[in-house]
Structure 1
Amino acid sequence: MSSAALFEEGEEFVDAEMFADALDSFQAAWDALPEPKADQEQAIQICAAISDCYFHLESWSACHDAMQNALRCGASVGNPFVRLRLGQSLYELGNEREAANWLVPVYLMEGRAPFEDDPKYLEFFRGKLAPPEGGWPEGW
């Protein structure tokens, strides 16, 4: 099966919230990439999907490592999803200072939306920020 077909299969498992099965498909998609894997167009997408599965499976170290691999493959540090998963995994690993460094820019770029599924991350770093003069804008 091709890397693209395996990735699509993984996406179907994600849609069904079957994250362990999705992870297996994404890992197989990674394995199916030709060498050098990091140079392949789909490498970043696969690594991010692997990281996301590990996040949902609460495997924080593996989530962090997979997203670091996405960065090594060329993912942008300015990508809000990359920053979100790195920050969340660092928070869960107990590295709050570094977690805040990754999460605050997501909040500044995207607002509350990325944090609505689990507001603990928003509460964590908002408590560390001084509100702007006049308070937080509506929806922030």
Structure 2
Amino acid sequence: MELNDKVYNQIVQLCDIGNALIEKGQVDKAIESYTEALDLVPLPKNEWETSTWIYTALGDSYFYNGNYELAKSHLYNALNCPDGASNPFILLRLGESLFECGELDKAKEYLLRAYMLEGYKLFFDEDDKYFQLIMDMI
């Protein structure tokens, strides 16, 4: 399914604004922009490709804000959207969010899946604690 061009362009514009705000360190304003973009996606949201990257952006933003519960929620949503389950970044950030929520068994599962898809390079710029959690499993 494809969104009509007008709606798609509005979504892209709002996400571009969100991305620019992230680069400026204005995470809360970026979240507002991403949320506005998500509101434009028709129901059911999990059937649209655009939802995959919007939920991912929201999850990533909440992760950097330290709101790991909301990060986890949005990343689970992203996982259930088109191509979400095979996206190494979604798996990584979900694993990290689960780690921060104290859900270590689930964190291991998603971090290991991310590693299996992308290898160590995905973890290179991340805190070592996440890779250390799965080192003995590799």
After TM superposition, the score normalised by the length of structure 2 is 0.82
| Structure 1 or 2: more helix by fraction | 2
Distance 2:83 2:70 in 1: 17
Letter in 2 for 1:124: L
**Aligned with residue 130 of structure 2, among 121, 127, 130:** 121
Q: Compared with structure 1, are the counterparts of its residues 78 and 13 closer, same or farther at alpha carbon in structure 2 (3 Å cutoff)?
A: same
1:80 matches 2:94:
no
Q: Percent identity?
A: 31
Shift of 1:5: 1.1
* Per-residue CA distance 1:37-84 (angstroms, 9 max, x = gap): 333331111011101101111111111110111123233322101110
Distance 1:36 1:95 in 2: 28
* Per-residue CA distance 1:4-58 (angstroms, 9 max, x = gap): 2111100111222322221111011111223443333311110111011011111
1:109 matches 2:117:
yes
Match of 2:50 in 1: 42
Q: Aligned residue pairs: how many?
A: 129
* 1:5-24 to 2 correspondences below 5 Å: 5-24=13-32
Distance 2:95 2:101 in 1: 10
**Aligned with residue 78 of structure 2, among 59, 70, 79:** 70
| Helix, strand or coil at the partner of 1:38 | helix
Q: Is the 8 A contact 2:10 2:37 kept in 1?
A: yes
Q: Is the 8 A contact 2:52 2:84 kept in 1?
A: no
Q: Compared with structure 1, are the counterparts of its residues 65 and 14 closer, same or farther at alpha carbon in structure 2 (3 Å cutoff)?
A: same
Output the aligned Cα RMSD: 1.9
Distance 1:81 1:52 in 2: 10
Letter in 2 for 1:25: S
Structure 1 gaps, min length 5: 131-140
Q: Compared with structure 1, are the counterparts of its residues 40 and 120 closer, same or farther at alpha carbon in structure 2 (3 Å cutoff)?
A: same
* Per-residue CA distance 1:108-140 (angstroms, 9 max, x = gap): 3323222233111112221x336xxxxxxxxxx
